[in-house]
Structure 1
Amino acid sequence: MKKNELYEQRKKIVYNIIQDDVYQPLKLKEFSYLLQVPPRDREQLKQILDELVAEGKISITKKGKYTKLEKGLVRGIFESNARGFGFVTVEGEEEDYFIPENAVGDAMYHDVVLMQVVVPYAEPGKRKEGKVIKVLERGITQVVGTFQKSRNFGFVVPDNQRFEKDIFLSKSESKNLSEGHKVVVKIIDYGGDGKNPEGKVLEVLGHANDPRVDVLSVIKAYDVPLEFPQEVMQQVKRVNDEVLEREKAGRMDIRGWQTVTIDGEDAKDLDDAITLTRQDGGYQLGVHIADVSHYVTEGSALDQEALKRGTSIYLIDRVIPMLPHKLSNGICSLNAGVDRLALSCIMDIDAKGRIIGHKIAETVVRVDERMSYTSVAKILEEQDPEEIKRYENLVPMFQLMKELSDILRQHRHERGSIDFDFPESKLILDEDGRPLEIYPYDRNCATKIIEDFMLAANETIAEDFFWQELPFVYRTHESPDPDKIQKLAVFIQNFGYFLKNSSKDHIHPKEIQKLLNKIEGTEEEALISRLALRSMKQARYTTTNIGHFGLSAKYYCHFTSPIRRYPDLQIHRIIKENLHGNLQKKRVKHYEQILPKVAEISSKTERRAEEMEREVVKMKKVEYMEQHLGEIFVGVISGITTWGIYVELPNTIEGMIRVADMIDDYYNYDERSYSMVGEMTGRTFELGMRVAVRVKETNRMLRTIDFELYDEDMEE
């Protein structure tokens, strides 16, 4: 038996003994006598007991005795709120516990805590409630913030608003710092009883106003590495710049097929290429994905670093890649005019968009042209004569792509796939990283073509491996919580809309789709769309296939982006082993053991990347509006609450008019009509209403933009 297996076995025995009804609390020495543990193993016993305490499975008294948890005590993750209260999320429970301000104790953001359950079940209009008993593990060990100097010491004000307390720096730690410096500090004492946490400076990033320090601060706050470890770069050095002839042996050679990549103008990691022909009254679609797993071998330093990163992170002024550039922009990128190794999913699709057959193969490809979304859209939407002439030999394939894309999209629509079509923000920065321009970036026909083809490949691969009953990583999206759907149904009734079967445990995605169709073009579209999205659960990676609610798909995975997503890379290995007949019992067991952790890490790193990307966009929007203080804009009311009116400008920037600043009347929020009404004048503000606003104030630290009403006649 391996050492770690023996350790886990002993840990299980220890836990079961403590859970026994006849067990009485014992100190370490007493417990070791009970188990007849020899002196040489007592250190391991202590490690086991302390580990069980840290995991929140047993408890330790003030007198150092190990005992079972009191009834009603559970382990969870604490999330703080700026207003003093918080929430605890418990694994396996869908709804979190509310923690009142007087029950928070010394818990801080993301701490692992032991919580006493006060209200175990949510009642109508209320939620489950708990009280923090003990902090088991600190969630944050280092913080990024802005330095503020006092005479004999300093403070760091955390950028993360959920970490509520300023961090004290001693005189010696503060001596070389200036007011406004952005720093990374390690927390050496978490304080408590009115005392602030204390920190030690690990790194000075620069002054808060220095170019690009703002984005760097976000990167450091999330503890994302910018450089690759030396052993990773050593491994990369050994990778060839070109595909060797021996590497092409045994692969399906499709270099003669007309092949293109279609990506954004700035993209350098081109991991998917497309071929398409008309065939037997239908279509043959080839989705060819860079064979990254050929270069990133399982268990290597490169593989371990890729799993740790989980995904490439696309910030406004930089990309933090999952793989080093020599791979992501070089040998793994399907660059035009050169031979590349790929893993291909070649699908036969009938005239109604049904996939009636497919083949998965290791291939050698040679891309004919590196196309951009803009260029393909010019050909298909604008009928641009210059663009058509430049790519005249490819135009028939692009027209066929548009034809098939429309069919596939209609097929998905008929089964109930939900399409939340929110415009993304496009930000243009100057050479110092300051925002020059912000505007909405809508999907065009070319982006939809690639989206439709990638979805088809992902569904095909997932269904294939589901029916083979092999270990796999699926991309799943659970049905929404019935309570949230019920709340959405009640809300939309105020606008005359209804959700069928919203009171039952299950709702079909087609009902959400129908709602989005009904509200399209209405004043309340933005608000209801956002609320519908918030009522959905987050998609994640799992080893069990439970389908994808949003796509109304029974089978779905991520296969198409192994350069920038680890789950795709992982399943490429499984697919290739299966193609070669190597997925025997031993390898199946291996994957069954490692895939749950891969899925968990990949889901977490994906959330981290999304949070970082959102935070940087929000930060740059605030910085952009700093340049427009006092200026007047016309926007649309996108939300109304008791504390203010949210207004979204045509460039996607959203700010708030605070009720306290609406001085022409005393305004009340009407919950029934979701409007703001003046007591004396009866002046009413409603969702979707156009209003003129003046930019009053911005706050980079809080990431907020404040508007005030501008009552002159609005210009069209």
Structure 2
Amino acid sequence: MSLQTKILKEIEKRPCRLKELKKRLGNDKKVQRTVEELVWRGMLREKDGAYFLTRTGDADKAFPCRLVKLGRRFGFASRLDGEGDIFIPGRSLLGAMPGDQVLVRLFDHPRVAGSQEGEVVSILEPHNTFVGEIVEAEGRLALKPDVSPDNLLYIKKSADGGARPGEKAAVEILERGDHHADHRAGVAMRFGSAEQAGHCIEALLYAAGLNRRFPEKVKAEARTLENATVQPAQIRGRLDLRDTPIFTIDSASTKDIDDAVSIERTAAGYRLGVHIADVSEYVKPGTALDGEAFQRGTSVYFGESVLPMLPRQLSNGICSLNPQEERLAFSCMMELDARGEIVRYAFAKTVIRSRVKGVYDEINALLAGQGNAELADKYAQVALQLPVLDELYRLRAARRKERGGLEIESDEAKIVLDANGRCVDVVCRERGRSEMIIEECMLLANQCAAKAARKAKAPFVYRVHEKPDAERLERLQTLLTACNVNVKFPPEGPAPRDFAQLLDATRGQPLERAIHTGVLRCMSKACYETAPKGHFGLALEDYAHFTSPIRRYPDLAIHRILSDLIAGASENTLKERYQDFAQAAADQSSAREVLAMQTERSATSCYKAEYMQARLGQEFEGVVSGVAAHGVYVELPNTVEGMLRTVEICQGEPVLTDGVRVSDPISGKSWALGDTVRVKVTRVDIALGNVDFALADAAE
């Protein structure tokens, strides 16, 4: 830590006299010179012999921030009070690194009127762990951090851990200077070659604090459930559904099966059962298992791997609804009318025995009339239920369309790995009929869970998706106008149905990708809250996550609350027991979900880049999926996205028009959202998940 930072941290605690600072920090002359410099720079002010941080006056306030972006000559700090980001010139960063909590003082006169610009006056809480690629610079080893590739971290010779250039590694900053080049780091972990996506992903997990291994106390509790079976004492008081034809539908590789369904036609319509693994029976409050599940918040999926929220003894064992095995479940039993509308519902603790592990592709084939004798034999016990389930789904799809539920077209990638864990194919994951059937069944149960809690006024963890704010709507309106899509939203803001009509009108059109992506970016981020604010995208007043307690903590949390609710607990008892718990679960689950999504997205990008590495020089046809002044993004049919850099495709200064078109004023060429272009793969960075293209005709 630099002397300047030490002085500022001391004065941050309380105002100090120079004599005090010298006594605490030593080196009298250096302390005095540094204090004088800080006063001259406006970071400190002196009054009656004591030194204070400069904070008074509208233009001189200092704000605690988090440094969120670091370039070669600038940075951005996000204010912790949520009042936006502050631009910081490179000379004013004080060596701050991404993730540091810093104190930032706003400039009196920003270069851009109305903007927030300032300088780091103190590093309050340094973030010292970084991952990246080991490189050689000026004859020395350094780390090129993933989060700020333009700012090398030089490694002390005594702490290089045997690292070599080209390796993926994690380092800890051991000594900090006032400038980035003055920092010194030590190697904490080596992951292997940066040319392999698997190694890069291990580094991603390390940086995110996502651990494959469970703590010893957690593993010890999990081992007590190794090969566990349902005991007679556990069945007492439960609704026995073992004779009901219940079955699961998942991908062939799924091992953590947490949901099953049952269906029958009634005189008035349908009786649908959604049966969820009763994880709350095995993961009790106050246990190491529960504490770890809370901390993890969610399972993380990438490639063909998973970092589970719960150990395998639960997730793949006693809590997985494996076929022909007795399992404890929490069931939502629903009665629906002939139009597929919910008439009544009830929750019950049950014991079930799944008849068959249904597989998406197999059931899709059966529903399409393409099954063979082998499939017919496998699904014989539920053959009568499958067409009824499909019939109910068709009705529910019609009801969703009526209420304006959004169906945004977005391609999801399926990563195919070889025996060595290398990506050998990237394909667009298709959603068949059975995938949509199960999704609708889960939506119904989730809706009922939220409705039950709201009616009972119980503390709860709701899945909330609020309507878009005015700023995002304005950006979408600009995009639509630039794309010549004549849509005007009502003054009070669009309803879900307005968006649904826009999506339908552009489906199958050249601009479908651009418009659907624009609508998606316009949406607020879904999160978990304790207030029932509804789900805008699904056009539902009541919504929660009830159906995946093996892999999502909020589902486990509300299982506990609903268990007490159906057992007859009073409103006061529920509030006393769960008010604080629900809030903590909502906050933690929202934060961990964001981290998991970011990690999964980055891991997928690494795999895609690895796949494209073997295709350097090859040509592909793609569609312009995004435009910016620095580049044109092109997406291939397999969902891989790369960039055409404007510095390489434009002869003059590129002109960006309304975020939908980039033009070269000299050649007259332009590239707009939805355009089809032929590109050639020119560069790949597996560690950062980046792919660069060149125009195929220009590259010849």
Local SS of the residue matching 1:419: coil
2:118 aligned residue: 131
- Alignment partner for residue 310 of structure 2, among 308, 313, 323? 323
1:213 aligned residue: 199
Which segment drifts farther, 297-306 or 167-176?
A: 167-176
2:194 and 2:687 in contact (8 A); partners too: no
Aligned pairs (5 A) from 1:71-86: 72-82=61-71, 84-86=73-75
2:268 aligned residue: 281
2:258 and 2:547 in contact (8 A); partners too: yes
Count of matched residue pairs: 656
1:50 aligned residue: none
Local SS of the residue matching 2:520: helix
2:595 aligned residue: 608
Q: Deviations over 1:586-645 (max 9, x none)?
A: 552232123222211111111111111111111111111111111121222223333333
1:165 and 1:196 in contact (8 A); partners too: no
1:34 aligned residue: none
For residues 233 and 56 of structure 2, what CA distance do their matches in structure 1 show?
Answer: 65
Which segment drifts farther, 424-433 or 237-246?
A: 237-246
Aligned pairs (5 A) from 1:367-516: 367-386=354-373, 387-388=375-376, 390-501=378-489, 504=491, 506-516=493-503
1:142 and 1:184 in contact (8 A); partners too: yes
For residues 508 and 68 of structure 1, what CA distance do their matches in structure 2 show?
Answer: 48
Task: Please tell me whether residue 227 in structure 1 is matched to residue 213 in structure 2.
Answer: yes
Change (3 A) 1:691 1:164: closer
Change (3 A) 1:152 1:518: closer
1:181 aligned residue: 167
2:99 and 2:127 in contact (8 A); partners too: yes
2:172 and 2:186 in contact (8 A); partners too: yes
For residues 619 and 99 of structure 1, what CA distance do their matches in structure 2 show?
Answer: 30
1:152 and 1:171 in contact (8 A); partners too: no
Which segment drifts farther, 282-291 or 60-69?
A: 60-69
1:120 and 1:128 in contact (8 A); partners too: no
RMSD of aligned alpha carbons: 3.1
- Alignment partner for residue 112 of structure 1, among 95, 101, 107? 101
2:54 and 2:62 in contact (8 A); partners too: no
Change (3 A) 1:147 1:682: closer
1:21 aligned residue: none
Aligned pairs (5 A) from 1:527-542: 527-542=514-529
Q: Deviations over 1:514-572 (max 9, x none)?
A: 11111111111111211221121111111112111111111111110000000101111
Change (3 A) 1:181 1:130: same
Name the aligned partner's letter for residue 310 of structure 2.
L
Which segment drifts farther, 551-560 or 591-600?
A: 591-600
2:537 aligned residue: 550
Deviation at 1:128, TM superposition (A): 4.8
1:96 and 1:128 in contact (8 A); partners too: no
2:340 and 2:395 in contact (8 A); partners too: yes
Aligned pairs (5 A) from 1:665-704: 668-669=654-655, 671=657, 674-677=660-663, 679=665, 682-704=668-690
Deviation at 1:304, TM superposition (A): 0.5
1:349 aligned residue: 336
For residues 625 and 349 of structure 1, what CA distance do their matches in structure 2 show?
Answer: 49
- Alignment partner for residue 197 of structure 1, among 157, 172, 183? 183
1:82 and 1:161 in contact (8 A); partners too: no
Deviation at 1:684, TM superposition (A): 4.4
For residues 283 and 647 of structure 2, what CA distance do their matches in structure 1 show?
Answer: 58
1:89 and 1:95 in contact (8 A); partners too: yes
Local SS of the residue matching 2:697: coil
Change (3 A) 1:575 1:212: same
- Alignment partner for residue 236 of structure 1, among 211, 218, 222? 222
Change (3 A) 1:382 1:140: farther
2:624 and 2:673 in contact (8 A); partners too: yes
Change (3 A) 1:486 1:115: same
- Alignment partner for residue 661 of structure 1, among 628, 648, 654? 648
For residues 127 and 308 of structure 1, what CA distance do their matches in structure 2 show?
Answer: 40
2:243 aligned residue: 256
Q: Deviations over 1:94-134 (max 9, x none)?
A: 7544445565444321222333456999xxx9875142444
Aligned pairs (5 A) from 1:537-686: 537-582=524-569, 585=572, 588-662=575-649, 668-669=654-655, 671=657, 674-677=660-663, 679=665, 682-686=668-672
For residues 479 and 195 of structure 2, what CA distance do their matches in structure 1 show?
Answer: 44
For residues 424 and 323 of structure 2, what CA distance do their matches in structure 1 show?
Answer: 32
Deviation at 1:668, TM superposition (A): 4.5
2:191 and 2:203 in contact (8 A); partners too: yes
For residues 541 and 406 of structure 1, what CA distance do their matches in structure 2 show?
Answer: 29
For residues 601 and 337 of structure 2, what CA distance do their matches in structure 1 show?
Answer: 40
Change (3 A) 1:457 1:70: farther
1:246 aligned residue: 233
Name the aligned partner's letter for residue 233 of structure 1.
K
Deviation at 1:305, TM superposition (A): 0.5
Which segment drifts farther, 74-83 or 257-266?
A: 74-83
1:89 aligned residue: 78
Deviation at 1:175, TM superposition (A): 6.1
Change (3 A) 1:294 1:163: farther
**TM-score normalised per structure 2:** 0.87
1:381 and 1:445 in contact (8 A); partners too: no
For residues 72 and 522 of structure 2, what CA distance do their matches in structure 1 show?
Answer: 24
2:106 and 2:117 in contact (8 A); partners too: yes
Local SS of the residue matching 2:349: strand
Local SS of the residue matching 1:367: strand
Change (3 A) 1:284 1:89: farther
Local SS of the residue matching 1:368: strand
Deviation at 1:161, TM superposition (A): 2.6
Deviation at 1:485, TM superposition (A): 0.3
Q: Deviations over 1:62-108 (max 9, x none)?
A: 99878996454433333114364444434564754444556544432
Task: Please tell me whether residue 292 in structure 1 is matched to residue 279 in structure 2.
Answer: yes
Name the aligned partner's letter for residue 231 of structure 2.
L
- Alignment partner for residue 326 of structure 2, among 320, 327, 339? 339
Q: Deviations over 1:658-711 (max 9, x none)?
A: 233337x65854616934455566444433232222212212244221222223
For residues 53 and 576 of structure 2, what CA distance do their matches in structure 1 show?
Answer: 36
Deviation at 1:463, TM superposition (A): 1.1
Percent identity between the aligned chains? 33
1:472 and 1:571 in contact (8 A); partners too: yes
Name the aligned partner's letter for residue 242 of structure 1.
T
For residues 197 and 79 of structure 2, what CA distance do their matches in structure 1 show?
Answer: 41
Name the aligned partner's letter for residue 189 of structure 2.
E
Change (3 A) 1:106 1:253: same
For residues 98 and 521 of structure 1, what CA distance do their matches in structure 2 show?
Answer: 41
Which segment drifts farther, 229-238 or 697-706?
A: 697-706
Change (3 A) 1:351 1:141: farther
Change (3 A) 1:194 1:450: closer
Q: Deviations over 1:230-257 (max 9, x none)?
A: 1111111222611111111100001111
Local SS of the residue matching 1:129: coil
Which segment drifts farther, 396-405 or 287-296?
A: 396-405
For residues 65 and 439 of structure 1, what CA distance do their matches in structure 2 show?
Answer: 62
2:393 and 2:440 in contact (8 A); partners too: yes
Name the aligned partner's letter for residue 552 of structure 1.
A
Q: Deviations over 1:126-174 (max 9, x none)?
A: 875142444454363312222234688521222x234753222211112
